[in-house]
Structure 1
Amino acid sequence: MELGYSFCPNDTFIFYALTHGKVPSPVPVREVLEDVETLNRWAFAGRLPLTKISYAAFAHLRETYVALRSGGALGRGVGPLLVAREAFEDLTGKRIAHPGRYTTAYLLLRMFAQGQPFEAVEFRYDRILPALQRGEVDAGLLIHESRFVYPRYGLVPIVDLGAWWEAETGLPLPLGAILARRDLGEERIRALDQAVRASLEYARAHPDEPWAYIKRHAQELEDAVIHKHIATYVNAFSLDVGAEGEAAVRELFRRAEALELVPRHEASPFLPRSAGKPV
Protein backbone atom coordinates (compact mmCIF):
# COMPACT_ATOMS: atom_id res chain seq x y z
CA MET A 1 0.00 0.00 0.00
CA GLU A 2 1.26 3.47 -0.86
CA LEU A 3 1.54 6.08 1.89
CA GLY A 4 2.04 9.69 0.89
CA TYR A 5 3.85 12.16 3.13
CA SER A 6 6.14 15.17 2.86
CA PHE A 7 9.93 15.48 2.87
CA CYS A 8 9.78 17.29 6.21
CA PRO A 9 11.58 15.92 9.27
CA ASN A 10 8.43 15.39 11.33
CA ASP A 11 6.95 13.11 8.65
CA THR A 12 10.12 11.19 7.88
CA PHE A 13 10.69 10.75 11.61
CA ILE A 14 7.17 9.39 12.18
CA PHE A 15 6.97 7.09 9.15
CA TYR A 16 10.51 5.74 8.95
CA ALA A 17 9.74 2.57 10.92
CA LEU A 18 6.50 1.86 9.08
CA THR A 19 8.00 2.23 5.60
CA HIS A 20 11.16 0.30 6.51
CA GLY A 21 9.43 -2.76 7.95
CA LYS A 22 10.37 -2.06 11.57
CA VAL A 23 6.85 -2.39 13.00
CA PRO A 24 3.88 -4.67 12.28
CA SER A 25 1.48 -3.50 9.59
CA PRO A 26 -1.64 -5.09 8.08
CA VAL A 27 -0.04 -4.64 4.64
CA PRO A 28 3.46 -3.62 3.48
CA VAL A 29 3.63 0.17 3.17
CA ARG A 30 5.65 1.97 0.49
CA GLU A 31 6.57 5.65 0.81
CA VAL A 32 5.52 8.28 -1.71
CA LEU A 33 7.28 11.51 -0.75
CA GLU A 34 5.92 14.75 -2.18
CA ASP A 35 5.28 18.39 -1.41
CA VAL A 36 2.19 18.76 0.79
CA GLU A 37 0.23 20.73 -1.83
CA THR A 38 0.85 17.97 -4.38
CA LEU A 39 -0.49 15.46 -1.86
CA ASN A 40 -3.49 17.72 -1.25
CA ARG A 41 -4.33 17.82 -4.94
CA TRP A 42 -3.83 14.07 -5.37
CA ALA A 43 -6.29 13.47 -2.55
CA PHE A 44 -9.05 15.18 -4.51
CA ALA A 45 -8.64 12.37 -7.05
CA GLY A 46 -8.40 9.70 -4.33
CA ARG A 47 -5.02 8.71 -5.75
CA LEU A 48 -3.45 7.37 -2.53
CA PRO A 49 -5.22 5.06 -0.06
CA LEU A 50 -3.21 6.49 2.85
CA THR A 51 -1.86 10.03 2.80
CA LYS A 52 -0.79 13.07 4.78
CA ILE A 53 -2.67 16.18 3.71
CA SER A 54 -3.52 19.61 5.06
CA TYR A 55 -6.61 19.97 7.22
CA ALA A 56 -7.75 22.70 4.83
CA ALA A 57 -7.83 20.14 2.00
CA PHE A 58 -9.42 17.53 4.25
CA ALA A 59 -12.34 19.91 4.83
CA HIS A 60 -13.30 19.27 1.19
CA LEU A 61 -12.78 15.49 1.35
CA ARG A 62 -14.61 14.27 4.44
CA GLU A 63 -16.86 11.99 2.42
CA THR A 64 -13.94 10.16 0.76
CA TYR A 65 -11.35 10.05 3.56
CA VAL A 66 -11.29 9.65 7.33
CA ALA A 67 -8.48 10.94 9.57
CA LEU A 68 -6.41 8.50 11.60
CA ARG A 69 -5.97 9.34 15.25
CA SER A 70 -2.17 9.06 15.00
CA GLY A 71 0.52 10.67 12.86
CA GLY A 72 -0.95 14.12 12.33
CA ALA A 73 0.43 17.59 12.95
CA LEU A 74 -1.33 19.74 15.55
CA GLY A 75 -0.04 21.78 18.42
CA ARG A 76 0.76 25.09 19.99
CA GLY A 77 3.54 27.31 18.71
CA VAL A 78 3.47 25.53 15.35
CA GLY A 79 1.74 28.12 13.19
CA PRO A 80 2.62 29.40 9.74
CA LEU A 81 4.49 32.72 9.76
CA LEU A 82 3.86 35.64 7.46
CA VAL A 83 7.17 37.46 6.93
CA ALA A 84 8.40 40.35 4.79
CA ARG A 85 11.46 42.48 4.08
CA GLU A 86 9.89 45.42 5.94
CA ALA A 87 7.16 45.57 8.57
CA PHE A 88 3.60 46.58 7.65
CA GLU A 89 0.22 46.32 9.37
CA ASP A 90 -2.39 46.04 6.59
CA LEU A 91 -2.37 43.26 4.01
CA THR A 92 -4.53 45.19 1.56
CA GLY A 93 -3.00 45.21 -1.91
CA LYS A 94 0.06 43.22 -0.86
CA ARG A 95 1.44 40.53 -3.14
CA ILE A 96 1.78 37.50 -0.84
CA ALA A 97 3.46 34.19 -1.62
CA HIS A 98 1.75 31.15 -0.11
CA PRO A 99 2.51 27.40 -0.21
CA GLY A 100 -0.68 26.20 -1.88
CA ARG A 101 -4.38 26.79 -2.33
CA TYR A 102 -5.35 23.84 -0.13
CA THR A 103 -2.77 24.26 2.62
CA THR A 104 -3.95 25.06 6.12
CA ALA A 105 -1.52 27.98 6.09
CA TYR A 106 -3.36 29.63 3.20
CA LEU A 107 -6.76 28.93 4.75
CA LEU A 108 -5.61 30.61 7.98
CA LEU A 109 -4.28 33.60 6.04
CA ARG A 110 -7.64 34.02 4.31
CA MET A 111 -9.44 33.78 7.65
CA PHE A 112 -7.09 36.32 9.24
CA ALA A 113 -7.23 38.74 6.30
CA GLN A 114 -11.00 39.23 6.16
CA GLY A 115 -11.54 42.78 4.91
CA GLN A 116 -7.92 43.08 3.73
CA PRO A 117 -7.89 41.94 0.08
CA PHE A 118 -4.45 40.85 -1.08
CA GLU A 119 -2.93 39.28 -4.19
CA ALA A 120 -2.14 35.60 -3.61
CA VAL A 121 0.77 34.03 -5.48
CA GLU A 122 1.37 30.29 -5.12
CA PHE A 123 4.89 28.88 -4.74
CA ARG A 124 6.17 25.54 -3.57
CA TYR A 125 6.95 26.01 0.12
CA ASP A 126 10.74 25.88 -0.29
CA ARG A 127 10.70 28.57 -3.00
CA ILE A 128 8.99 31.26 -0.97
CA LEU A 129 12.11 32.58 0.80
CA PRO A 130 14.07 32.92 -2.47
CA ALA A 131 11.08 34.71 -4.07
CA LEU A 132 11.06 37.17 -1.17
CA GLN A 133 14.80 37.74 -1.54
CA ARG A 134 14.36 38.47 -5.25
CA GLY A 135 11.61 41.01 -4.49
CA GLU A 136 8.97 39.09 -6.47
CA VAL A 137 6.46 39.39 -3.61
CA ASP A 138 5.81 41.72 -0.70
CA ALA A 139 5.45 38.96 1.91
CA GLY A 140 5.66 35.20 2.22
CA LEU A 141 3.76 32.63 4.23
CA LEU A 142 6.26 30.16 5.69
CA ILE A 143 5.73 26.56 6.78
CA HIS A 144 8.00 23.60 7.58
CA GLU A 145 11.69 24.32 8.14
CA SER A 146 11.48 27.79 6.53
CA ARG A 147 9.80 29.23 9.62
CA PHE A 148 12.94 28.48 11.67
CA VAL A 149 15.50 30.12 9.36
CA TYR A 150 13.85 33.23 7.89
CA PRO A 151 15.92 35.73 10.00
CA ARG A 152 18.98 34.66 8.02
CA TYR A 153 17.34 36.22 4.98
CA GLY A 154 16.95 39.62 6.64
CA LEU A 155 13.19 39.20 6.98
CA VAL A 156 10.85 40.34 9.75
CA PRO A 157 7.67 38.70 11.08
CA ILE A 158 4.32 40.25 10.18
CA VAL A 159 1.99 37.81 11.92
CA ASP A 160 2.24 34.38 13.52
CA LEU A 161 -0.99 32.74 12.38
CA GLY A 162 -0.67 30.00 14.97
CA ALA A 163 -0.51 32.56 17.78
CA TRP A 164 -3.46 34.37 16.22
CA TRP A 165 -5.47 31.14 16.07
CA GLU A 166 -4.66 30.22 19.67
CA ALA A 167 -5.63 33.71 20.88
CA GLU A 168 -8.90 33.53 18.96
CA THR A 169 -9.91 30.02 20.01
CA GLY A 170 -7.82 28.87 22.96
CA LEU A 171 -7.23 25.67 20.99
CA PRO A 172 -4.16 24.05 19.42
CA LEU A 173 -3.68 24.62 15.72
CA PRO A 174 -4.53 21.76 13.33
CA LEU A 175 -2.10 21.64 10.40
CA GLY A 176 -2.10 18.21 8.75
CA ALA A 177 -3.73 14.81 9.13
CA ILE A 178 -3.04 11.25 8.05
CA LEU A 179 -6.04 10.14 6.04
CA ALA A 180 -7.26 6.73 4.96
CA ARG A 181 -9.72 6.27 2.14
CA ARG A 182 -13.01 5.15 3.65
CA ASP A 183 -13.32 2.33 1.09
CA LEU A 184 -10.47 0.49 2.85
CA GLY A 185 -12.96 -0.56 5.50
CA GLU A 186 -12.93 -0.01 9.24
CA GLU A 187 -10.90 -3.08 10.21
CA ARG A 188 -7.98 -2.24 7.94
CA ILE A 189 -8.11 1.46 8.79
CA ARG A 190 -7.90 0.69 12.50
CA ALA A 191 -4.95 -1.62 11.91
CA LEU A 192 -3.19 1.10 9.88
CA ASP A 193 -3.82 3.61 12.66
CA GLN A 194 -2.16 1.24 15.13
CA ALA A 195 0.76 0.77 12.73
CA VAL A 196 1.29 4.54 12.42
CA ARG A 197 1.28 4.92 16.19
CA ALA A 198 3.75 2.03 16.51
CA SER A 199 6.01 3.69 13.93
CA LEU A 200 6.15 6.90 15.96
CA GLU A 201 6.77 4.99 19.18
CA TYR A 202 9.63 3.13 17.46
CA ALA A 203 11.21 6.41 16.33
CA ARG A 204 11.03 7.81 19.83
CA ALA A 205 12.61 4.66 21.24
CA HIS A 206 15.38 4.65 18.57
CA PRO A 207 15.86 8.36 17.68
CA ASP A 208 19.26 7.90 16.01
CA GLU A 209 18.18 5.13 13.65
CA PRO A 210 16.06 7.22 11.23
CA TRP A 211 18.53 10.14 11.22
CA ALA A 212 20.19 9.41 7.87
CA TYR A 213 16.77 8.97 6.26
CA ILE A 214 15.53 12.24 7.74
CA LYS A 215 18.61 14.20 6.58
CA ARG A 216 18.43 12.75 3.09
CA HIS A 217 15.06 14.40 2.54
CA ALA A 218 15.23 17.55 4.70
CA GLN A 219 15.23 21.01 3.12
CA GLU A 220 17.50 22.41 5.83
CA LEU A 221 20.38 20.07 6.68
CA GLU A 222 21.64 21.59 9.92
CA ASP A 223 21.15 19.16 12.79
CA ALA A 224 19.90 21.90 15.13
CA VAL A 225 17.17 22.96 12.68
CA ILE A 226 16.06 19.37 12.12
CA HIS A 227 15.95 18.65 15.86
CA LYS A 228 13.92 21.82 16.46
CA HIS A 229 11.53 20.92 13.65
CA ILE A 230 10.85 17.45 15.08
CA ALA A 231 10.53 18.77 18.64
CA THR A 232 7.99 21.37 17.47
CA TYR A 233 5.77 19.26 15.25
CA VAL A 234 5.95 15.79 16.83
CA ASN A 235 4.09 15.92 20.12
CA ALA A 236 1.31 14.28 22.12
CA PHE A 237 -1.21 15.10 19.36
CA SER A 238 0.94 13.04 16.97
CA LEU A 239 0.35 9.92 19.06
CA ASP A 240 -3.38 10.54 19.41
CA VAL A 241 -5.30 13.62 18.31
CA GLY A 242 -7.30 13.43 21.54
CA ALA A 243 -10.46 15.29 22.51
CA GLU A 244 -8.76 18.69 22.42
CA GLY A 245 -7.30 18.04 18.99
CA GLU A 246 -10.67 16.90 17.66
CA ALA A 247 -12.28 20.04 19.06
CA ALA A 248 -9.64 22.17 17.32
CA VAL A 249 -10.26 20.50 13.96
CA ARG A 250 -14.01 20.85 14.25
CA GLU A 251 -13.59 24.54 15.17
CA LEU A 252 -11.33 25.12 12.16
CA PHE A 253 -13.92 23.53 9.90
CA ARG A 254 -16.79 25.44 11.55
CA ARG A 255 -15.11 28.82 11.13
CA ALA A 256 -14.07 28.09 7.54
CA GLU A 257 -17.60 26.93 6.70
CA ALA A 258 -19.10 30.07 8.23
CA LEU A 259 -16.87 32.19 5.97
CA GLU A 260 -17.80 29.97 2.99
CA LEU A 261 -14.15 29.06 2.45
CA VAL A 262 -14.87 25.30 2.55
CA PRO A 263 -18.05 23.29 1.88
CA ARG A 264 -20.28 22.18 4.73
CA HIS A 265 -20.25 18.47 5.49
CA GLU A 266 -21.78 16.27 8.16
CA ALA A 267 -19.38 13.30 8.02
CA SER A 268 -17.33 12.76 11.18
CA PRO A 269 -13.71 13.61 10.32
CA PHE A 270 -12.02 11.11 12.65
CA LEU A 271 -11.77 7.38 13.05
CA PRO A 272 -14.03 6.66 16.05
CA ARG A 273 -12.32 5.60 19.28
CA SER A 274 -14.35 2.41 19.59
CA ALA A 275 -15.08 -0.26 17.01
CA GLY A 276 -18.58 -0.78 15.74
CA LYS A 277 -19.18 2.76 14.46
CA PRO A 278 -19.01 3.42 10.70
CA VAL A 279 -15.99 5.32 9.44
Structure 2
Amino acid sequence: MSASLPESLSLGLSPCPNDTYIFHALLHGLVPAPVAFRPHLADVEELNGMARRKELDVTKMSLGAAARIMDDYALLASGAALGWGCGPLVVAREPLPSEAWATARVAVPGLLTTANLLLTLHGGFQGPRQEMLFNEVMPAVARGDADLGVIIHEGRFTYQRLGLTKLLDLGEWWEGAFHVPLPLGAIAVRRNVPLETARAVQTAIAASLSYARAHPQASGDFVRAHAQELEESVTRAHIETFVTDYSLDLGEAGRAAIEQLVGRAAMLEGLRIPPQGLFLG
Protein backbone atom coordinates (compact mmCIF):
# COMPACT_ATOMS: atom_id res chain seq x y z
CA MET A 1 0.00 0.00 0.00
CA SER A 2 1.12 3.54 -0.78
CA ALA A 3 3.07 5.44 1.89
CA SER A 4 1.70 8.97 1.37
CA LEU A 5 -1.06 9.79 3.85
CA PRO A 6 -4.34 11.00 2.28
CA GLU A 7 -6.25 13.99 3.62
CA SER A 8 -9.60 12.43 2.74
CA LEU A 9 -11.06 9.21 1.34
CA SER A 10 -14.12 8.55 -0.78
CA LEU A 11 -16.54 6.22 1.01
CA GLY A 12 -19.25 4.21 -0.71
CA LEU A 13 -22.14 2.84 1.31
CA SER A 14 -25.67 1.79 0.56
CA PRO A 15 -28.71 3.66 1.89
CA CYS A 16 -29.94 0.46 3.55
CA PRO A 17 -30.54 0.59 7.31
CA ASN A 18 -27.68 -1.75 8.21
CA ASP A 19 -25.12 0.52 6.52
CA THR A 20 -26.54 3.84 7.72
CA TYR A 21 -26.83 2.42 11.25
CA ILE A 22 -23.19 1.28 11.23
CA PHE A 23 -21.73 4.44 9.67
CA HIS A 24 -23.90 7.12 11.31
CA ALA A 25 -21.53 7.88 14.18
CA LEU A 26 -18.45 7.92 11.96
CA LEU A 27 -20.02 10.28 9.42
CA HIS A 28 -21.40 12.60 12.11
CA GLY A 29 -18.25 13.09 14.15
CA LEU A 30 -19.40 11.00 17.10
CA VAL A 31 -16.31 8.77 17.00
CA PRO A 32 -12.77 9.69 15.92
CA ALA A 33 -12.12 9.47 12.17
CA PRO A 34 -8.59 8.92 10.85
CA VAL A 35 -9.31 11.08 7.77
CA ALA A 36 -12.19 13.10 6.36
CA PHE A 37 -14.64 10.98 4.38
CA ARG A 38 -16.44 11.95 1.18
CA PRO A 39 -19.56 9.74 1.38
CA HIS A 40 -21.33 8.42 -1.69
CA LEU A 41 -24.62 6.63 -0.99
CA ALA A 42 -25.82 4.35 -3.77
CA ASP A 43 -27.42 0.99 -4.47
CA VAL A 44 -24.93 -1.78 -3.78
CA GLU A 45 -24.81 -2.83 -7.44
CA GLU A 46 -23.77 0.70 -8.36
CA LEU A 47 -21.08 0.48 -5.69
CA ASN A 48 -19.95 -2.87 -7.13
CA GLY A 49 -19.53 -1.23 -10.53
CA MET A 50 -17.65 1.72 -9.06
CA ALA A 51 -15.31 -0.68 -7.27
CA ARG A 52 -14.62 -2.53 -10.52
CA ARG A 53 -13.65 0.85 -12.01
CA LYS A 54 -11.53 1.64 -8.91
CA GLU A 55 -13.51 4.84 -8.27
CA LEU A 56 -13.87 4.55 -4.48
CA ASP A 57 -11.18 4.41 -1.80
CA VAL A 58 -13.38 2.60 0.74
CA THR A 59 -16.67 0.97 -0.16
CA LYS A 60 -19.37 -1.47 0.77
CA MET A 61 -19.46 -4.20 -1.84
CA SER A 62 -21.26 -7.44 -2.55
CA LEU A 63 -19.07 -10.41 -1.82
CA GLY A 64 -20.45 -11.89 -5.02
CA ALA A 65 -18.32 -9.29 -6.82
CA ALA A 66 -15.18 -9.77 -4.73
CA ALA A 67 -13.40 -12.25 -6.99
CA ARG A 68 -13.40 -9.66 -9.78
CA ILE A 69 -11.93 -6.76 -7.82
CA MET A 70 -9.68 -8.15 -5.09
CA ASP A 71 -6.47 -7.40 -6.96
CA ASP A 72 -7.26 -3.75 -6.20
CA TYR A 73 -9.11 -3.97 -2.87
CA ALA A 74 -8.64 -5.66 0.52
CA LEU A 75 -11.53 -6.58 2.81
CA LEU A 76 -11.83 -5.00 6.25
CA ALA A 77 -12.74 -6.96 9.38
CA SER A 78 -15.49 -4.47 10.36
CA GLY A 79 -18.72 -3.33 8.71
CA ALA A 80 -19.71 -6.59 7.02
CA ALA A 81 -23.17 -8.03 6.46
CA LEU A 82 -22.71 -11.68 7.37
CA GLY A 83 -24.60 -14.11 9.53
CA TRP A 84 -27.15 -16.86 9.90
CA GLY A 85 -30.74 -16.50 8.68
CA CYS A 86 -30.08 -13.45 6.51
CA GLY A 87 -30.14 -14.82 2.98
CA PRO A 88 -31.89 -13.60 -0.16
CA LEU A 89 -35.27 -15.12 -0.93
CA VAL A 90 -36.61 -16.45 -4.22
CA VAL A 91 -40.26 -15.42 -4.57
CA ALA A 92 -43.06 -15.94 -7.09
CA ARG A 93 -46.71 -15.03 -7.55
CA GLU A 94 -47.74 -18.58 -6.65
CA PRO A 95 -46.11 -21.80 -5.46
CA LEU A 96 -44.12 -23.49 -8.22
CA PRO A 97 -42.60 -26.99 -8.16
CA SER A 98 -38.80 -27.02 -8.18
CA GLU A 99 -38.70 -28.54 -11.67
CA ALA A 100 -40.33 -25.34 -12.98
CA TRP A 101 -37.53 -23.17 -11.57
CA ALA A 102 -34.99 -24.33 -14.13
CA THR A 103 -36.36 -22.35 -17.09
CA ALA A 104 -38.11 -19.53 -15.24
CA ARG A 105 -37.32 -15.88 -15.96
CA VAL A 106 -35.69 -14.52 -12.80
CA ALA A 107 -35.46 -10.86 -11.80
CA VAL A 108 -32.20 -10.25 -9.93
CA PRO A 109 -30.96 -7.14 -8.07
CA GLY A 110 -27.73 -6.95 -10.07
CA LEU A 111 -25.48 -9.48 -11.76
CA LEU A 112 -22.60 -8.73 -9.37
CA THR A 113 -24.65 -9.19 -6.21
CA THR A 114 -24.16 -12.06 -3.81
CA ALA A 115 -27.82 -12.90 -4.40
CA ASN A 116 -27.13 -13.58 -8.06
CA LEU A 117 -24.03 -15.60 -7.22
CA LEU A 118 -26.04 -17.77 -4.81
CA LEU A 119 -28.61 -18.39 -7.52
CA THR A 120 -25.82 -19.66 -9.78
CA LEU A 121 -24.19 -21.76 -7.06
CA HIS A 122 -27.54 -23.39 -6.28
CA GLY A 123 -27.66 -24.74 -9.83
CA GLY A 124 -31.42 -25.02 -10.12
CA PHE A 125 -32.04 -21.78 -12.04
CA GLN A 126 -30.94 -21.91 -15.69
CA GLY A 127 -33.45 -19.51 -17.22
CA PRO A 128 -32.84 -15.91 -18.33
CA ARG A 129 -32.00 -13.34 -15.65
CA GLN A 130 -33.38 -9.85 -15.75
CA GLU A 131 -31.18 -7.31 -13.98
CA MET A 132 -32.88 -4.42 -12.17
CA LEU A 133 -32.66 -2.31 -9.01
CA PHE A 134 -33.46 -4.30 -5.88
CA ASN A 135 -36.63 -2.28 -5.17
CA GLU A 136 -37.98 -3.07 -8.66
CA VAL A 137 -37.75 -6.86 -8.30
CA MET A 138 -40.93 -7.50 -6.30
CA PRO A 139 -43.15 -5.24 -8.46
CA ALA A 140 -41.77 -6.92 -11.60
CA VAL A 141 -42.74 -10.36 -10.28
CA ALA A 142 -46.14 -9.11 -9.09
CA ARG A 143 -46.87 -7.68 -12.57
CA GLY A 144 -45.78 -10.88 -14.30
CA ASP A 145 -42.78 -9.29 -15.99
CA ALA A 146 -40.65 -12.01 -14.37
CA ASP A 147 -41.60 -15.48 -13.21
CA LEU A 148 -39.39 -15.38 -10.11
CA GLY A 149 -37.51 -12.73 -8.22
CA VAL A 150 -34.52 -12.75 -5.88
CA ILE A 151 -35.19 -10.25 -3.12
CA ILE A 152 -32.74 -8.65 -0.70
CA HIS A 153 -32.71 -5.92 1.94
CA GLU A 154 -36.15 -4.87 3.24
CA GLY A 155 -37.90 -7.10 0.71
CA ARG A 156 -37.30 -10.02 3.05
CA PHE A 157 -39.86 -8.52 5.42
CA THR A 158 -42.41 -7.07 2.96
CA TYR A 159 -42.85 -9.44 -0.01
CA GLN A 160 -46.14 -10.83 1.27
CA ARG A 161 -47.73 -7.38 1.00
CA LEU A 162 -47.55 -7.77 -2.79
CA GLY A 163 -49.16 -11.20 -2.64
CA LEU A 164 -45.89 -13.01 -3.34
CA THR A 165 -44.89 -16.38 -1.96
CA LYS A 166 -41.46 -17.65 -0.92
CA LEU A 167 -40.09 -20.56 -2.93
CA LEU A 168 -36.58 -20.77 -1.50
CA ASP A 169 -34.43 -19.15 1.15
CA LEU A 170 -30.97 -19.03 -0.44
CA GLY A 171 -29.40 -18.39 2.96
CA GLU A 172 -30.88 -21.58 4.39
CA TRP A 173 -29.69 -23.45 1.29
CA TRP A 174 -26.14 -22.05 1.72
CA GLU A 175 -26.03 -22.85 5.43
CA GLY A 176 -27.22 -26.41 4.83
CA ALA A 177 -24.82 -26.99 1.96
CA PHE A 178 -21.66 -25.47 3.42
CA HIS A 179 -22.25 -25.26 7.20
CA VAL A 180 -20.94 -21.70 7.54
CA PRO A 181 -22.72 -18.36 7.97
CA LEU A 182 -23.69 -16.53 4.79
CA PRO A 183 -21.43 -13.65 3.74
CA LEU A 184 -23.44 -11.02 1.86
CA GLY A 185 -21.36 -7.85 1.80
CA ALA A 186 -18.23 -6.35 3.29
CA ILE A 187 -16.25 -3.12 3.41
CA ALA A 188 -13.26 -3.00 1.08
CA VAL A 189 -10.35 -0.56 0.92
CA ARG A 190 -8.15 0.20 -2.07
CA ARG A 191 -4.79 -1.51 -1.75
CA ASN A 192 -3.05 1.79 -2.58
CA VAL A 193 -4.37 3.36 0.65
CA PRO A 194 -1.54 3.44 3.22
CA LEU A 195 -1.74 0.43 5.52
CA GLU A 196 -1.73 2.59 8.65
CA THR A 197 -4.69 4.59 7.32
CA ALA A 198 -6.57 1.48 6.18
CA ARG A 199 -6.20 -0.12 9.61
CA ALA A 200 -7.38 3.10 11.26
CA VAL A 201 -10.47 3.10 9.01
CA GLN A 202 -11.18 -0.49 10.04
CA THR A 203 -10.94 0.50 13.72
CA ALA A 204 -13.12 3.58 13.19
CA ILE A 205 -15.91 1.55 11.55
CA ALA A 206 -15.93 -0.85 14.50
CA ALA A 207 -16.05 2.13 16.88
CA SER A 208 -18.96 3.60 14.91
CA LEU A 209 -20.93 0.35 15.25
CA SER A 210 -20.11 0.13 18.96
CA TYR A 211 -21.46 3.67 19.36
CA ALA A 212 -24.64 2.72 17.47
CA ARG A 213 -25.21 -0.24 19.77
CA ALA A 214 -24.61 1.87 22.88
CA HIS A 215 -26.91 4.65 21.59
CA PRO A 216 -29.52 2.82 19.48
CA GLN A 217 -31.76 5.87 19.00
CA ALA A 218 -29.00 8.22 17.84
CA SER A 219 -28.97 7.05 14.23
CA GLY A 220 -32.76 6.94 13.82
CA ASP A 221 -33.22 10.09 11.73
CA PHE A 222 -30.26 9.26 9.49
CA VAL A 223 -31.48 5.71 8.93
CA ARG A 224 -35.05 6.84 8.16
CA ALA A 225 -33.85 9.56 5.79
CA HIS A 226 -32.33 6.96 3.47
CA ALA A 227 -34.47 3.84 3.98
CA GLN A 228 -36.74 2.46 1.26
CA GLU A 229 -39.19 1.16 3.87
CA LEU A 230 -40.11 3.68 6.57
CA GLU A 231 -42.08 1.38 8.87
CA GLU A 232 -40.17 1.28 12.16
CA SER A 233 -40.67 -2.45 12.71
CA VAL A 234 -39.26 -3.26 9.27
CA THR A 235 -36.24 -1.00 9.79
CA ARG A 236 -35.58 -2.54 13.19
CA ALA A 237 -35.88 -6.08 11.81
CA HIS A 238 -33.53 -5.16 8.97
CA ILE A 239 -30.84 -3.93 11.38
CA GLU A 240 -31.28 -6.91 13.71
CA THR A 241 -30.95 -9.33 10.77
CA PHE A 242 -28.05 -7.81 8.87
CA VAL A 243 -25.97 -6.22 11.63
CA THR A 244 -24.40 -9.02 13.66
CA ASP A 245 -21.36 -9.62 15.81
CA TYR A 246 -19.56 -10.41 12.55
CA SER A 247 -20.20 -6.78 11.57
CA LEU A 248 -18.03 -5.69 14.49
CA ASP A 249 -15.26 -8.18 13.72
CA LEU A 250 -15.32 -10.99 11.18
CA GLY A 251 -13.19 -13.25 13.34
CA GLU A 252 -11.93 -16.58 12.05
CA ALA A 253 -15.41 -17.92 11.28
CA GLY A 254 -16.40 -14.86 9.26
CA ARG A 255 -13.16 -14.90 7.29
CA ALA A 256 -13.54 -18.61 6.57
CA ALA A 257 -17.10 -18.09 5.32
CA ILE A 258 -15.97 -15.29 2.99
CA GLU A 259 -13.08 -17.37 1.68
CA GLN A 260 -15.56 -20.18 0.97
CA LEU A 261 -17.93 -17.93 -1.00
CA VAL A 262 -15.31 -15.92 -2.88
CA GLY A 263 -13.30 -19.05 -3.63
CA ARG A 264 -16.33 -20.67 -5.24
CA ALA A 265 -17.06 -17.50 -7.21
CA ALA A 266 -13.47 -17.40 -8.44
CA MET A 267 -13.65 -21.02 -9.60
CA LEU A 268 -16.88 -20.34 -11.48
CA GLU A 269 -15.33 -17.41 -13.30
CA GLY A 270 -11.88 -18.88 -13.86
CA LEU A 271 -10.23 -16.29 -11.60
CA ARG A 272 -7.58 -16.58 -8.91
CA ILE A 273 -7.48 -15.25 -5.37
CA PRO A 274 -4.74 -12.58 -5.11
CA PRO A 275 -1.49 -13.94 -3.64
CA GLN A 276 -1.70 -11.34 -0.86
CA GLY A 277 -5.08 -12.79 0.19
CA LEU A 278 -8.52 -11.24 0.52
CA PHE A 279 -8.14 -9.37 3.80
CA LEU A 280 -6.32 -6.31 5.03
CA GLY A 281 -3.01 -7.31 6.59
Alignment of 1:255 onto 2:256: no
Conservation of the 8 A alpha-carbon contact between 1:7 and 1:33: yes
Task: Look up the match of 1:26.
Answer: 34
Alignment of 1:100 onto 2:110: yes
Conservation of the 8 A alpha-carbon contact between 1:59 and 1:262: no
1:64 corresponds, among 35, 53, 72, to 72
2:53 corresponds, among 40, 45, 55, to 45
Question: Percent identity of the aligned residues?
Answer: 46
2:248 corresponds, among 235, 239, 246, to 239
Shift of 1:117: 1.5
Note the residue ranges of structure 2 that are not aligned, 5 or more in a row: 1-8
TM-score, normalised by the number of residues in structure 2: 0.94
1:172 corresponds, among 155, 170, 181, to 181
Note the residue ranges of structure 1 that are not aligned, 5 or more in a row: 273-279
Task: Look up the match of 1:83.
Answer: 91
Q: Which segment is superposed worse, 70-79 or 20-29? A: 20-29
Task: Look up the match of 1:182.
Answer: 191
Conservation of the 8 A alpha-carbon contact between 1:55 and 1:175: yes
Shift of 1:63: 1.0
Letter of the structure 1 residue corresponding to residue 70 of structure 2: R
2:210 corresponds, among 201, 219, 224, to 201
Shift of 1:262: 5.7
2:161 corresponds, among 142, 152, 155, to 152
Change (3 A) 1:233 1:20: same
Report the aligned-residue RMSD: 1.1
Conservation of the 8 A alpha-carbon contact between 2:63 and 2:185: yes
Q: How far apart are the structure 1 equivalents of 2:243 and 2:199?
A: 21
Q: Which segment is superposed worse, 83-92 or 62-71? A: 83-92
Shift of 1:254: 2.4
Q: How far apart are the structure 1 equivalents of 2:129 and 2:248?
A: 34
Conservation of the 8 A alpha-carbon contact between 2:11 and 2:58: yes
Shift of 1:113: 2.2
Letter of the structure 1 residue corresponding to residue 218 of structure 2: E
Where 1:118 maps in the other structure, the secondary structure is coil
Aligned length: 270
Conservation of the 8 A alpha-carbon contact between 2:67 and 2:263: no
TM-score, normalised by the number of residues in structure 1: 0.94
1:212 corresponds, among 214, 221, 243, to 221
Letter of the structure 2 residue corresponding to residue 43 of structure 1: A
Change (3 A) 1:262 1:204: farther
Where 1:243 maps in the other structure, the secondary structure is helix
Conservation of the 8 A alpha-carbon contact between 2:10 and 2:38: yes
Letter of the structure 1 residue corresponding to residue 103 of structure 2: G
Conservation of the 8 A alpha-carbon contact between 1:26 and 1:188: yes
Conservation of the 8 A alpha-carbon contact between 1:108 and 1:161: yes
Shift of 1:128: 0.7
Conservation of the 8 A alpha-carbon contact between 1:76 and 1:162: yes
Where 1:183 maps in the other structure, the secondary structure is coil
Letter of the structure 2 residue corresponding to residue 93 of structure 1: T
**Cα shift readout 1:41-60 (whole Å, capped 9, x = no counterpart):** 00011101000000011111
Letter of the structure 1 residue corresponding to residue 146 of structure 2: V
